[in-house]
């Protein structure tokens, strides 16, 4: 009897040890699985952060929008405005910054007047958009707005740029605060007909070109915006009357 009890006790002890061994194996398997999941999640998070960081990274490549000339400008002609091309239209060169309050005033005062002359084929506007007022907003609105407009130009051409141009002035933010963010600029660009990639706007595709355009303007004597030139001469007070006077003089020259 004593021997039987000892054998049963030995078997019970063996069974206890086997259960503990099995439980340890199970815990090890669970631990390994948890560690594997954690490592995968960490890797996935790192990949996502890397992608977000890359998505938000501004472009460093110097790329010019379609249609730009060597003077960092492009023509807005009668055909672009839905009018009829005239004979020997006078070229009105216009530098402007979408954050510039004086440019907004100029647009409100003389924009419709100039656009009408373009439609009639009397003038061509050579837009030379620049950015130098990033410091006047808390989120670099000046260069971001110009970049968005250039994305529209590159994607849809001059008539769509003009729509974007007008929309940006109609919604110009006050100086000193934050201008519309990239999402808002993208929505405005789509209003103008933009169908290109969001990255053109979110990664400021034309940022390096914008910098070069400003440097070119400075080399040519830039003093501020709006800077209007007709027949190579500055129009100091570009009201409709003064513009017409300069245009008439250019026709006679």
* Rounded mean pLDDT, 189-201: 98
Burial class (CB in 10 A: 0-12, 13-18, 19+), 225: buried
pLDDT of residue 58: 82
> Which tokens in the block code for residue 69?
């000339």
Report CA-CA distances (Å) from 189 to 142, 151, 160, 165: 15, 8, 9, 10
3-state helix, strand, coil in the chain (%, to 5): 55, 10, 35
Q: Is residue 62 part of a domain?
A: no
Q: Are residues 107 and 188 in the same domain?
A: yes
3-state secondary structure of 135: helix
Contact 114, 81 (CB under 8 A): no
Q: Are residues 50 and 78 in the same domain?
A: no
The total domain count for the chain is 2
Q: What is the pLDDT of residues 131-184, one digit of tens each?
A: 999 999 999 999 999 999 999 999 999 999 999 999 999 999 999 999 999 999
Q: Are residues 185 and 130 in the same domain?
A: yes
Q: Is residue 61 part of a domain?
A: no
Residue 248 sits in a domain of what CATH number?
A: 3.40.30.10
pLDDT of residue 14: 67
Q: Is residue 240 part of a domain?
A: yes
Helix or strand (DSSP H, E) at 75: strand 74-76
Q: Are residues 23 and 90 in the same domain?
A: no
Q: Are residues 32 and 120 in the same domain?
A: no
Q: Are residues 48 and 85 in the same domain?
A: no
Q: Are residues 50 and 82 in the same domain?
A: no
pTM to 2 decimals?
Answer: 0.78
Of residues 44 and 192, more confidence is placed in: 192
Q: Is residue 65 part of a domain?
A: no
Q: Are residues 51 and 102 in the same domain?
A: no
Q: What is the domain range of residue 9?
A: 1-55
Looking at the chain, the whole-number percentage of residues with pLDDT higher than 70 is 78
């Amino acid at each position: 009897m004593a021997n039987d009890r000892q054998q049963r006790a030995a078997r019970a002890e063996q069974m206890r040890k086997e259960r503990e061994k099995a439980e340890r194996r199970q815990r090890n398997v669970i631990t390994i699985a948890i560690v594997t999941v954690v490592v995968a999640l960490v890797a996935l998070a790192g990949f996502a952060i890397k992608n977000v960081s890359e998505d938000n990274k501004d472009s460093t490549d110097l790329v010019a929008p379609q249609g730009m000339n060597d003077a960092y400008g492009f023509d807005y002609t009668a055909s672009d405005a839905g009018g009829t091309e005239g004979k020997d239209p006078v070229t009105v060169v216009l530098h402007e910054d979408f954050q510039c309050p004086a440019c907004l005033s100029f647009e409100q005062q003389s924009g419709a007047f100039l656009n009408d002359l373009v439609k009639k084929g009397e003038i061509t506007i050579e837009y030379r958009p620049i950015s130098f007022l990033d410091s006047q907003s808390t989120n670099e609105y000046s260069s971001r707005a110009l970049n968005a407009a250039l994305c529209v130009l590159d994607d849809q051409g001059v008539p769509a740029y003009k729509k974007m141009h007008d929309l940006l002035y109609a919604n110009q933010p006050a100086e000193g605060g934050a201008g519309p963010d990239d999402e808002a600029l993208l929505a405005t660009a789509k209003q103008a007909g933009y169908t290109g990639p969001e990255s053109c706007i979110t990664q400021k595709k034309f940022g390096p070109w914008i910098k070069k355009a400003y440097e070119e303007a400075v080399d040519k004597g830039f003093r501020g915006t709006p800077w209007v030139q007709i027949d190579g001469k500055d129009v100091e007070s570009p009201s409709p009357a003064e513009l017409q006077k300069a245009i008439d003089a250019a026709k006679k020259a």
